[in-house]
Amino acid sequence: MYDAAVIGGGILGCATALHLARGGMKVVIAERDSLCRQASGVNAGTHSMQMKRAALIPYALKGWEMWRDAPQWLGMEVGFRTTGGLTLAFTEDEAEALKTRMGRRIDAGAPIEMVTAERARAIEPGLSDTAVLASYCPIDGFANAALTGLAMRRALLEDGVDVRERSAVDGIERDGGGFVVRAGETRLAARRVVLAAGVWAGPMLAWLGVPIDIVCGARHVAVTERTRPIMRTILGEATGKLSIIQPGNGTVLIGGGWPAVGSPKHGSMTVIPKNLVGNFQLACATVPALTRTRVVRAWPGLDANVADHLPLVGALPGLDDAFIIGCVRGGYTTGPYMGRLLGELILGREPEMALFDPGRFGQASHAVH
Ligand SMILES: Cc1cc2nc3c(=O)[nH]c(=O)nc-3n(C[C@H](O)[C@H](O)[C@H](O)COP(=O)(O)OP(=O)(O)OC[C@H]3O[C@@H](n4cnc5c(N)ncnc54)[C@H](O)[C@@H]3O)c2cc1C
Backbone angles phi, psi at 51, to 5 degrees: -95, 10
Q: Say what the pLDDT of residue 257 is.
A: 84
Q: Say what the pLDDT of residue 32 is.
A: 97
- Closest ligand 1 atom to residue 260 Cα is 1
Residue to probe by mutation, ligand 1, list 162, 204, 303, 310, most atoms within 8 Å of CB: 303
Q: Say what the pLDDT of residue 364 is.
A: 61
Contacts of 230 (CB under 8 A, 6+ apart): 126, 246, 252, 287, 289, 290, 293
Do residues 331 and 348 lie in contact, with contact meaning Cβ atoms separated by under 8 Å?
A: no
Q: How does 307-316 read in b/e, with b if 16+ C-beta sit within 10 Å?
A: eeebbbbbbb
- Closest ligand 1 atom to residue 183 Cα is 42
Q: Say what the pLDDT of residue 262 is.
A: 87
Q: Which amino acid is at 74?
A: L
Report which DSSP code applies to 290: G
Q: Say what the pLDDT of residue 321 is.
A: 96
In the chain, what are the domain boundaries?
2-41+146-214+307-361, 85-138+216-305
Do residues 301 and 221 lie in contact, with contact meaning Cβ atoms separated by under 8 Å?
A: yes
- Closest ligand 1 atom to residue 63 Cα is 11
- At the top level of CATH, the class of 85-138+216-305 is alpha beta
- Closest ligand 1 atom to residue 8 Cα is 34
Q: Which residue's alpha carbon is at the smallest distance from atom 20 of ligand 1?
A: 331
Q: Say what the pLDDT of residue 220 is.
A: 95
17 to 39, 192, 317: CA distances (angstroms): 18, 12, 21
Q: Say what the pLDDT of residue 211 is.
A: 87
Q: Say what the pLDDT of residue 203 is.
A: 94
Q: Which residue's alpha carbon is at the smallest distance from atom 35 of ligand 1?
A: 8
CA 37, 228, 256, 276 torsion-angle sign:
negative
Q: Say what the pLDDT of residue 54 is.
A: 97
Torsion over CA of 12, 13, 19 and 20, rounded to 10 degrees?
150
Residue to probe by mutation, ligand 1, list 14, 19, 28, 200, most atoms within 8 Å of CB: 200
Q: 302 CA distance to ligand 1 centroid (A)?
A: 7
Element (H, E) at 326: strand 322-326
Strand 2-7 with 85-89, pairing: unpaired
Q: Say what the pLDDT of residue 367 is.
A: 46
Identify any residues that bridge with 174 across adjacent strands, giving them in sequence order.
179
Angle between helices 11-22 and 148-158 (to 10 degrees): 20
Do residues 192 and 316 lie in contact, with contact meaning Cβ atoms separated by under 8 Å?
A: no
Q: Which residue's alpha carbon is at the smallest distance from atom 12 of ligand 1?
A: 330
Contacts of 123 (CB under 8 A, 6+ apart): 84, 86, 115, 136, 232, 233
Number of CB atoms found within 10 A of residue 103's CB = 14
Per-residue pLDDT of the chain (369 residues; tens, 9 = 90+): 999 999 999 999 999 999 999 999 999 999 999 999 999 999 999 999 999 999 999 999 999 999 999 999 999 999 999 999 999 999 999 999 999 999 999 999 999 999 999 999 999 999 999 999 999 999 999 999 999 999 999 999 999 999 999 999 999 999 888 999 999 999 999 999 999 999 999 999 999 999 899 999 999 999 999 999 999 999 999 988 999 999 988 999 999 989 999 888 877 789 999 999 999 999 999 999 999 999 999 999 999 999 999 999 999 999 999 999 999 989 999 999 999 999 999 999 999 999 999 999 976 655 443
Identify any residues that bridge with 115 across adjacent strands, giving them in sequence order.
134
Nearest to 78 by CA among 136, 138, 142: 142
Q: Which residue's alpha carbon is at the smallest distance from atom 21 of ligand 1?
A: 40
Rounded-to-integer distance, Cα 87 and Cα 115, Å:
10
Contacts of 322 (CB under 8 A, 6+ apart): 179, 192, 193, 194, 195, 208, 315, 316
Q: 20 CA distance to ligand 1 centroid (A)?
A: 20
Identify any residues that bridge with 350 across adjacent strands, giving them in sequence order.
none
Q: 250 CA distance to ligand 1 centroid (A)?
A: 25
Q: Say what the pLDDT of residue 66 is.
A: 98
- Closest ligand 1 atom to residue 204 Cα is 41
Q: 10 CA distance to ligand 1 centroid (A)?
A: 6
Residue to probe by mutation, ligand 1, list 16, 31, 53, 338, most atoms within 8 Å of CB: 31
Rounded-to-integer distance, Cα 63 and Cα 316, Å:
24
Q: 8 CA distance to ligand 1 centroid (A)?
A: 9
Q: Say what the pLDDT of residue 368 is.
A: 46
For ligand 1, which residues put their CB under 6 angstroms from it? 7-13, 30-33, 37-40, 42-46, 168-169, 196-198, 200, 219, 221, 255, 301-303, 326, 328, 330-333, 335
Q: Say what the pLDDT of residue 369 is.
A: 36
Give the angle subtended at the CA of 223 by the CAs of 150 and 165, to the nearest 5°: 25
What dotted CATH number matches 2-41+146-214+307-361?
Answer: 3.50.50.60
